[in-house]
Amino acid sequence: MKLQQLLLNSKKQQKTLLSTDNFMPAKANLVLAFAQRTLLEKVCPFDLLKEIYPNAQIILCSSSGQVSNNCAIEKEIVVTAIEFDKTKIIATEFDILSNNNIDDLGEKIKAELFSKDLKSVLILSEGSYINGTELINELIKRTNKLIPIFGGLAGDEFSFEKTIVGLNANASSGKIVAVGFYGEHIHFGYGSEGGWGDFGPEREVTLSDKNVLYKIGDRFALDLYKEYLGKYAEELPGSSLYFPLSMKENSESASVVRTILAIDEENKSMTFAGNIPKGSLVRLMKGNIDKLIDAASTAAFKIKTASKEKVQLALLVSCVGRRIVLGDRVEEELEVVKDNFGENTILCGFYSYGEISPTQKNVACELHNQTMTIAAIYED
């Protein structure tokens, strides 16, 4: 595997951050470009990227912060081009605005990507309209729970207005892109850690509708949430990023974190980035900056210790909520990842509205919020 990483500014001026030995742009198979949504709309970089990398599948994705190998959140478009030596890739796109039937998305991915030599699937999805839980459940079903799936939901800086994604075209609303990786020479490692601390008792969800939570026990969800937040309740919904919810579908399930997207004062309900099923067990969480950074380190360390070969590329998908909570220290969670993998591992990625990564108990994938997820990629 050979790699190149560029910065592309608003005037379409290029700056090469790195280029590994013998990298040839014409041989690049896959290009991942992350940027703030308004910058992608202004620059419309696809035609330029196609000139530079004429034979690559080019994916554009809006973000809440684009990550470079400098362990920095850059202001420019971060472009990472990959030249696989022995790995085949196939990419496909689905427009959920023109067809919101999630079954049709699953059928398309199954028909175009699924085969015996499929090793993993990268999903970069719009983050404004999709129900992330329904998306990953459909992908798991269509791949028979056999294929690890990783990626995330596009971001929109801190605006939450709209997100855009594009495959071999400039990015636009409603697009979901899937990339399949094939063959015996490509290998992956996955890690996802939050670092949030639980507080308060574990309680059962008694009334919900998909990702809308109405009641916990015999209490309205919003009333209970405000009671625990105390003075922070006056700052809702913004303060909810500091106090996400831990959820287990049952007592035996691994816990996942759910971010609150909106509150409804009239119905005393809360809307989350992923489903909160009736009967699931939830607990409030709170953040500690040092623990959040340590969690990012742990996610990288677990991959490094499990990998048989040196990681060549690490795709980082962290949460916009983590960026807000970490504030001026946000780049520290990138630095600890780099420290674990070493200088020879190239970093790229973005801050998202939802992270997709396998879990230890589920080989396929899970929707995460408020985590640092890492997909480590290497060819033998």
* Per-residue pLDDT tens over the stretch 41-100: 999 999 999 999 999 999 999 999 999 999 999 999 999 999 999 999 999 999 999 999
Range in 30-44, 220-234, 358-372 with the lowest mean pLDDT? 358-372
Radius of gyration of the chain (CA): 20
Please determine, for residue 101, whether its predicted confidence score (pLDDT) is greater than 80: yes
> Could you report the per-residue pLDDT of 324-359, keeping only the tens digit for each?
899 999 999 999 999 999 999 999 999 999 999 987
Alpha-carbon span 70 to 334, nearest angstrom: 9
* Percent of the chain scoring above 90 in pLDDT: 75
Give me the mean pLDDT over the 291-320 stretch: 94
pLDDT at site 239: 81
Instruction: Return the pLDDT at 302.
Output: 93
Q: At a CB cut-off of 8 Å and minimum separation 6, what does 320 contact?
A: 64, 65, 155, 158, 241, 351, 352, 353
Q: How far is CA 153 from CA 57, 132, 174, 244, 251, in A?
A: 19, 8, 11, 18, 28
In the sheet where 149-153 sits, what is the strand order?
88-95, 175-182, 118-125, 149-153, 354-359, 362-368
All residues at 6 or more sequence positions from 116 whose CB lies less than 8 Å from its CB, including other chains? none
Alpha carbons 143 and 139: distance in angstroms, whole number: 6
Selection from 109, 108, 123, 126 nearest residue 174 by Cα: 126
- CA dist., res. 359 & res. 263, Å (int): 29
Whether 87 and 183 have beta carbons less than 8 Å apart is answered as yes
pLDDT range class, residue 307, cuts 50, 70, 90: confident
Number of helices (H), then strands (E), belonging to the chain: the values are: 8, 26
How many CB atoms are located within 10 Å of the residue 100 CB? 12
- Per-residue model confidence (pLDDT) at position 169: 98
Q: What is the average pLDDT across 165-186?
A: 97
CA angle 210, 212, 218 (to 5 degrees): 110
Mean pLDDT of the chain: 93
Least confident of 12-21, 205-214, 222-231: 222-231
Average pLDDT over residues 208-237: 91
pLDDT value at position 363?
Answer: 65
The answer to which of 271-275, 277-281, 310-314 has the lowest mean pLDDT is 271-275
pLDDT grade, residue 255 (50/70/90)? confident
> Residue 251: its pLDDT value, please?
86
State pTM to two decimals: 0.92
**Best mean pLDDT range from 18-22, 224-228, 230-234, 364-368:** 18-22
Half-sphere exposure of 62 (CA within 13 A, CB side): 31
Position 361 scores a pLDDT of: 60
| pLDDT band, very low/low/confident/very high, at 362 (cuts 50, 70, 90) | low
Q: Is the predicted pLDDT of residue 360 greater than 60, yes or no?
A: no
Contact 82, 28 (CB under 8 A): yes
**pLDDT of amino acid 231:** 87
pLDDT of 238 reads 75
